[in-house]
Structure 1
Amino acid sequence: MLEVLRNPTYGKLFSAQVVALLGTGLLTIALGLLAFDIAGGDAGIILGTALTIKMLAYVGVAPVIAALTGHLPRKLVLISADMLRAAVAISLPFVTEAWQIYLLIFVLQAASATFTPAFQAVIPEVLPDEAQYTRALSLSRLAYDLEALVSPMLAAALLTVITYNNLFVGTFLGFVGSALLVIGTRFPKIDPSRPAPFFDRLTRGVRVFWRVPELRSLLALNLVVATSTGMVIVNTVVLVQGQLGRPQTDVAILLAAYGTGSMIVALALPRVLDKLPDRTVMLTGAFILPLGLVAAAALIASPASASTWVGLIGTWCLLGAATSLILTPSARLLRRASNETNRPAVFAAQFSLSHACFILTYPAAGTLGAWIGLPVTARLLAGVGVAAAIAAWLAWARSTPAGALTKRESETAASTQ
């Protein structure tokens, strides 16, 4: 897997991703603690609202920015987005009101909605071989899991000597480091998209999704992921500190368990995907996630004890593993359904459409958790996940048995511009 890092361009881009995600991981922990500091037991409502604003920025900004910046060098787009994120991050320690959180989160996530699809779209051009690209996807999944593993561990260590507000400084340094690495990277020559009306450029990626059966199935799989992720991201801090009465460091430990499960799967997937089709792997993860939420509901409803805590750690690990089964191979489908000119639009569409699911699950997880309790909330989210998994299975069942795009489908989808 690590041989892809011998490519100097990908090596620097991967390093940029790692340092940015380390900073983002510190932001996740600090934001949850800031919300709890402001609202106490109602932190889930503030955090759920802030994360919903984040998703609104992702859904609304990503396709618009992809349409507006398609003619610009991707290197310039990435650097500009990183510097804006750094400026917002250094402002967060001064927040004292919930509305300030909402405003800064919108700006920061709008910048992330610019950076992430552009970053993801350039990797297939750097690594055109699918086997190498698959291994890069696993490394990328590992990098994302730093937010749920290494960053929480680092946060737990830092919280023993500093206050949580100082974690935002780490976020600032992560984004600055990412920008410096991108500046030092030599990008491949990529032809800009051909001139077209703005609305055509805005809807280009969505039209590819509509024409390819696997990508339509991917939409339902995104909802399955959103049900479990909403429960984990929004309610972990409420569960640990509000319901179990455990210390702040245990918030980081439970999130680290989630990241551990995802990393274990990401490490194994390149060899698995050499033998099994994407469809089998991704749908397996889709049916495991609702089962994990049902198990979480049972554990949360049981009396607090050492065995309950161990069970929650194991369940969070399972949820992370199943999430990785879906997310890691998903970019393979996007790559096959696009070419170098419409690829930014396709990745932006996936970025936007996948995060649209979180607009439903984040506020549901936070608000329902505060109103009717965490166990019932977990069971309701599990029900939504089962329905979405069945929809994904039915949609993909009408496609090729191996879960791969046919040559004709790929050419047709890629020509949609």
Structure 2
Amino acid sequence: MLDILSDRTYRHLFLAQVVALLGTGLATVALGLLAFDLSGDGAALVLGTVFTIKMVAYVGIAPIAGAFADRVPRRALLVTLDLVRAGVALALPFVTEVWQIYVLIFLLQSASAAFTPTFQATIPDVLPEEARYTRALSLSRLAYDLENIVSPTLAALLLAVMSYNSLFLGTVLGFAASALLVVSVVLPSPRPSEPRGVYDRTTRGIRIYLATPRLRGLLALNLAAAAAGAMVLVNTVVLVRGSLGLSESALAWTMFAFGAGSMIAALVLPRVLDVLPDRPVMFGGATLMVATLVGLALTVLGAGLGWSILLTAWLLVGLGYSAVLTPSGRLLRRSAHAGCHCTLINQILWIQGDLGRDCTPNYNISTARTAGRH
């Protein structure tokens, strides 16, 4: 899997992804603590609103940005958006009101929504061979898992000697380092695509997605993963700091448990997927997440919540989460072809933590209805 890092361009892009995600992971921990300081037990509502703003930005801005991303130089656009994100992160330590969090997060996620389709559409141009691209999907999954393991660990260590607001500076450094790494390579030019109107360019991805049977099934699995991920991201700070009354460092270690489970699955899955089809692996992951969360709820109602119970539950949810999301890129690749800008597919893959792929100008809705039945 690591042999694809011999490609200098991909290696720099992968490292840019890693450092940006490490910084983002520090911000995730700090943002939860900031929300708890401002709202107490209402932090879950604040974080829920924050992630709603994130999704609104992706759904509203990413398709438009993706539709026009091939009209500007990729490297210049990526570097500019990285610097915008670094500037917004620099303002987060000075927040004193909840509404200020909402405004800054909208600006940050809007820049990310424009960054993502461009960045992800570059990867398959750098690694056009299917086997190498599949390895890139697993490495991408591992990069997102680093956010859930290394970032909370680093946050726990830093919180012992500094306030959580200082963690936002790590986010600034992550985005700045990402910009430097992108500058250091020459990126492939966007492939020419068939001229289309704005409406067609921005909605074609969702129309193909919904017209492809296998992708409609994938959407249901994505909803299961999104629900489990939301439970972890939104409620962990309330469970750890509020219900259990534990320290700020305990929050970071609890997030570490989720990331550890996800990384274990990501390391094992490439070999598992060489033997088993994608479908049973993904259904197994979704079943594990659902069973774990139901079991956690019953345990809390019966014996009460303990930190060891929560750590175990988050480890199992992480295993199931990665088992659903890692093979998703393979399904999307089979349902999309090279040539045009399939914005929604790139967007959804980024939300999952995978890589996007463009679709051909000749890929039409009627073809999609029969192409994805297997």
Provide the aligned C-alpha RMSD in A: 2.3
Aligned to 1:312: 310
CA distance in 2, matches of 1:128, 1:104: 37
Secondary structure at the counterpart of residue 149 of structure 1 = helix
Compute the displacement of 1:77 (Å): 2.6
Secondary structure at the counterpart of residue 146 of structure 1 = helix
Compute the displacement of 1:3 (Å): 0.8
Give CA deviations for 1:316-366 in whole Å, capped at 9, x if unaligned. Answer: 0110110101111111122222233324524345359979xxxxxxxxxxx
Give CA deviations for 1:206-247 in whole Å, capped at 9, x if unaligned. Answer: 122123211111111111011111110000000001001111
The aligned runs of 1:107-126 (5 Å cut-off) are 107-126=107-126
Matched, 1:324 2:355: no
Matched, 1:92 2:92: yes
1:61–1:110 Cα contact (<8 Å) kept? yes
Aligned to 1:209: 209
2:73–2:189 Cα contact (<8 Å) kept? no
Aligned to 1:269: 269
The aligned runs of 1:4-403 (5 Å cut-off) are 4-303=4-303, 308-350=306-348
CA distance in 2, matches of 1:191, 1:130: 18
CA distance in 2, matches of 1:259, 1:354: 14
2:142–2:263 Cα contact (<8 Å) kept? yes
Give CA deviations for 1:150-175 in whole Å, capped at 9, x if unaligned. Answer: 00000000001110111111000000
Compute the displacement of 1:44 (Å): 1.1
CA distance in 1, matches of 2:340, 2:80: 22
CA distance in 2, matches of 1:352, 1:324: 14
Secondary structure at the counterpart of residue 245 of structure 2 = coil
CA distance in 1, matches of 2:351, 2:6: 33
CA distance in 1, matches of 2:246, 2:195: 57
Question: What amino acid sits opposite 1:139 in the alignment?
Answer: L
Give CA deviations for 1:91-125 in whole Å, capped at 9, x if unaligned. Answer: 10110000000000001011111222322222122
Aligned to 1:377: none
Question: What amino acid sits opposite 1:272 in the alignment?
Answer: V
Aligned to 2:356: none
Distance 1:274 1:352, change over 3 A: closer
Secondary structure at the counterpart of residue 188 of structure 1 = coil
Using the aligned pairs only, state the percent identity: 54
Distance 1:182 1:245, change over 3 A: same
2:89–2:172 Cα contact (<8 Å) kept? yes
Of 43-52 and 316-325, the range deviating more from structure 2: 43-52
Give CA deviations for 1:22-46 in whole Å, capped at 9, x if unaligned. Answer: 0000010000000011111211111
2:194–2:340 Cα contact (<8 Å) kept? no
The count of corresponding residues between Structure 1 and Structure 2 is 361
Question: What amino acid sits opposite 1:243 in the alignment?
Answer: S
2:69–2:118 Cα contact (<8 Å) kept? no
Compute the displacement of 1:80 (Å): 2.0
CA distance in 1, matches of 2:101, 2:41: 17
1:141–1:328 Cα contact (<8 Å) kept? yes
1:63–1:352 Cα contact (<8 Å) kept? no
Of 337-346 and 317-326, the range deviating more from structure 2: 337-346
Matched, 1:3 2:3: yes
Give CA deviations for 1:257-309 in whole Å, capped at 9, x if unaligned. Answer: 0000000010111111111111121121122211011122134335567xx32
Q: Tell me, which stretches of 5 or more residues in structure 1 are unaligned?
A: 356-407
Q: Tell me, which stretches of 5 or more residues in structure 2 are unaligned?
A: 354-362
Question: What amino acid sits opposite 2:245 in the alignment?
Answer: G
Question: What amino acid sits opposite 1:280 in the alignment?
Answer: P
1:223–1:354 Cα contact (<8 Å) kept? no
CA distance in 2, matches of 1:312, 1:325: 20
CA distance in 2, matches of 1:409, 1:132: 27
CA distance in 1, matches of 2:44, 2:140: 29
2:145–2:259 Cα contact (<8 Å) kept? yes
Of 114-123 and 87-96, the range deviating more from structure 2: 114-123
Return structure 1 stretches of 4+ with deviation > 6 angstroms.
352-355, 408-411
Question: What amino acid sits opposite 1:111 in the alignment?
Answer: A
Question: What amino acid sits opposite 2:329 in the alignment?
Answer: A
Compute the displacement of 1:134 (Å): 1.6
